[in-house]
Amino acid sequence: MMIQTNQEIQEIQKLILNLKKEKDVTILAHYYQTLEIQEIADFVGDSLELSKIARDHTNTKNIIFAGVLFMAETASILNPVKRVLMPDKQAGCPLASFLNGDTLKIYKDKYPGVPVVVYVNSTAETKAEADVVCTSSNAIKVIQGIQKEYNSKKVLFGPDKNLADHVRLNTNIEIINLPDVGFCYVHNDINKSDAIRAKNDYPNAAVAVHPECKREVRKLADFIGSTKGMYDYVKENPSIVNEFIIGTEIGFVQRLQKDFPNNKIYPMTENFICKDMKRTNLKKILNLLNNLDNDNNIVNVPNSISVKARISLEKMLKYS
């Protein structure tokens, strides 16, 4: 049954807040979750923030991850003694599906000695085959670091072609895409015409977009960065500009609108929605809290994969 009223939302939120204390649970939520979920989370952030939080600031026995599968896998890898659970394990990331471990092995054989960087938006088995993982906020720094460590002119990078292009344009490193085509369906769907229309509608607004957007969109931006990067951009610039066009998922735009009510925050398009993130809702979180012993919601990464992936993730955190 769908939640219809603010009162129903608040009642379920109150039940969740009480249960998570009673049952020793930390709730992590990505910025792309709905505001009502972000409000009951212990920590809200982007991929890099939540990776660090999962490792350093979760002291409870159980972690509920309101996000998509690769994020929960990452939390599990970094916290091997914790129980990491998802309200809906069908919440995946189509971007991650562009690259698997077997395909990555083929690229490694083709380019021996070339370091491999994979985006955090990838499966655990893919991370296990990489030399290091990166996020949208640290991709340039990580790729520069691994290139220097390996003294290589080339770096294999995947699976997001647009993030690869962003790094390529901002370094002198030869970036080899793996695979040739990989993208986030949400960010890749926005076009130059969407950005131009938004700029025409709000001529005084600064434009901030995610690096998963296409080059034609990034070229029209005043700022390119991760969700956390865009959050800080809005937070730190109110004296210079108080209007912003945001080119990323609508859940994050709503968060900005809530946190910065004195600014004018506009979505580049209202249709910028990650359907996979939105599979999670308050009802599913409540049901999970009432059934924590149900192993169907546990995210388990096999030890043979987890150990290798942890090395790649820890190296990312070191570079960050």
- What CATH number should be reported for the domain whose range is 95-183? 3.40.50.10800
The backbone torsions φ and ψ at residue 174, rounded to the nearest 5 degrees and listed phi first, read -80, 115
Topology (CATH level 3) of domain 191-267: Rossmann fold (3.40.50)
What pLDDT does residue 55 have? Answer: 81
Same fold, 95-183 and 191-267: yes
Residues of the chain where predicted confidence (pLDDT) is lower than 50: 1
CATH 3.40.50.10800 for the 6-92+277-300 domain, yes or no: yes
Q: Where are the domains of the chain?
A: 6-92+277-300, 95-183, 191-267
Q: In this predicted structure, what is the pLDDT of residue 239?
A: 64
What's residue 195's pLDDT?
Answer: 96
89 Cβ contact partners less than 8 Å away, ≥ 6 residues apart:
69, 296, 297, 299
Question: What's the pLDDT at 54?
Answer: 82
Closest CA to 76 of 123, 110, 38, 112: 123
Looking at residue 111, what is its pLDDT?
Answer: 96
Rounded Cα–Cα distance for residues 5 and 47 (Å): 31
